Structure 1
Amino acid sequence: MDERVWKFQPSDHEAVTALFQDGIQEHIIPSFTHAISQPLHITVTLCFFTVGYILGGGSVVLALLAGGLWIGLLYYCCYEFYAGYVRLKLNTDMRDIAGFYLSSPDNCFWVAEAEINGQPQIMGIVAVEGKEPPDSGQKYGELFRMSVSSASRRTGLGWRLGQTVINFCKERGFSKIVLHTSSTHSAAVALYYKMGFKLVQTPEEDEAPWWVLWLVRVSLLRMEKILQPCKDM
């Protein structure tokens, strides 16, 4: 499969934002399936059915309504966890990609094109932002917006995008690359491990309320790849 990677151009914006949105929201249904199949959630679902049946005087309709409300809440939380994230990012960095990622030499945003049925299409994106902690003189890069279309997965495109970020960060003299992802992105997590990233912690804070994370049964992950030894080591 022919592939081409280049820096983001304004003409790419519509295709890039569509790929980003689809890549995040495709996890809604798998996340809901995972959440509803958890033993605790199965127990709670049965309790709602039972309570609805008892309080409704043996009404099957009220039992189904009570259980349905609980299942609906789970789906809503799964939906909002991902759709809400997309809305937030489309109104921040993804609203002005050139201004956010291309206005500083320490930031960049790449677009990958591949041929699908003989037609070139944008099939992958990735970004990096250079950061420098106030208590350290060492800059590092944070990987953002990694997304590969389902039609181009298992072709090496994700690896190539990740390697593009690694090479960029090495050229900028960054000490490491960090990224944040979730446990539901299993394919991406596996790719990061293959590229040399290691799980360093599970962050406790996120844009989503704690109770949404608990219901959705998602773990947030922070991963790092060291690019060069620290000066004090």
Structure 2
Amino acid sequence: HLPLTIRRYQDPDKETVLSLFSQGIEEHIWPCFTNAMSSPLYLCFSLGLGVTGYLLASGLGALVLVSGWAGLVYYCCHKFFADFVRDSLKTDMQDIAASFMAQPDDCFWVAETVATGKVVGMVAVVAKKNDAERYGELFRMIVSSAMRRTGLGSRMVHTVLDFCKQRGMSMVTLGTTSTQTAAIALYRKMGFKHVRSDSKARIANWMRKITRVTIVVMEKSI
């Protein structure tokens, strides 16, 4: 594996970071679609549409109905993730330093290759406070597809945990989508526990239901 270093974000990183962020989020569109379409409910529904279409207009009718249904599911999955990218680029990712580095207990890191200085990962943390405690919320965790299964994800999560512990926080929380099974497995391996599932989304509720995606909220005491 390539030698990597994790350092604080700098303004010249912005273009590469935004590109990596967009690619990292949008690559979940297809897994979201296949996860939904392969569910028992959707398999039965697709079969029912196929039979109905065949009875009404033979093979062409079956093809039209099933293709139309699959197209709707894909559109909803695409909108779920594409809207998230679009909204993020207009808000917190528009000015990363202001959003994630203006306060001493917030930070945004990038991982880069030592040899080339290419940014291949990112993660951020924002300090939060409730009635009982201060804690950190992990955001924007992205690992380049070329660097998966190299241990980089674990290193970046450890960076967040160590940072929050040094600043006297009691816990780190995060939210990820239910379709990101590799990320969820990584967080579980590192001691995060699933505390609840949240159905809130930036798209219409009926569209979110079609995607069969929920937000998995996890936390780890430190």
Fold similarity call, TM over 0.5: yes
Matches within 5 A, 1:1-233: 1-55=2-56, 58-114=57-113, 119-133=116-130, 136-227=131-222
The unaligned stretches of length 5 or more in structure 1 are 228-233
Q: Which has the larger radius of gyration?
A: 1
Give the count of matched residue pairs.
Answer: 221
Q: How far apart are the structure 2 equivalents of 1:48 and 1:4?
A: 52
Q: How far apart are the structure 1 equivalents of 2:67 and 2:95?
A: 41
What amino acid sits opposite 1:64 in the alignment? Answer: L
Structure 1 outlier segments of 4+, above 4 Å:
none
**What are the Cα deviations for residues 3-40 of structure 1, in whole angstroms up to 9, with x where unaligned?**
11111111000110111111111111121111111121
How far did 1:99 drift? 0.9
> Share of identical aligned residues, percent?
47
What amino acid sits opposite 1:44 in the alignment? Answer: F
Secondary structure of 1:119's aligned partner:
coil
Secondary structure of 1:120's aligned partner:
coil
Q: How far apart are the structure 2 equivalents of 1:148 and 1:114?
A: 12
Secondary structure of 2:150's aligned partner:
coil
Secondary structure of 1:95's aligned partner:
coil
Q: Is the CA contact 2:50–2:63 (under 8 Å) kept in the aligned structure 1?
A: yes
Q: Is the CA contact 2:198–2:216 (under 8 Å) kept in the aligned structure 1?
A: yes
Q: How far apart are the structure 2 equivalents of 1:37 and 1:204?
A: 20
Q: TM-score, normalised by structure 2?
A: 0.93
Q: TM-score, normalised by structure 1?
A: 0.89
Q: How far apart are the structure 1 equivalents of 2:82 and 2:72?
A: 15
The unaligned stretches of length 5 or more in structure 2 are none
How far did 1:85 drift? 1.0
Q: How far apart are the structure 2 equivalents of 1:220 and 1:147?
A: 16
What amino acid sits opposite 2:128 in the alignment? Answer: K
How far did 1:138 drift? 1.7
Q: How far apart are the structure 1 equivalents of 2:191 and 2:207?
A: 31
**What are the Cα deviations for residues 81-118 of structure 1, in whole angstroms up to 9, with x where unaligned?**
11111111111111110111111112110011025xx5
Distance 1:198 1:67, change over 3 A: same
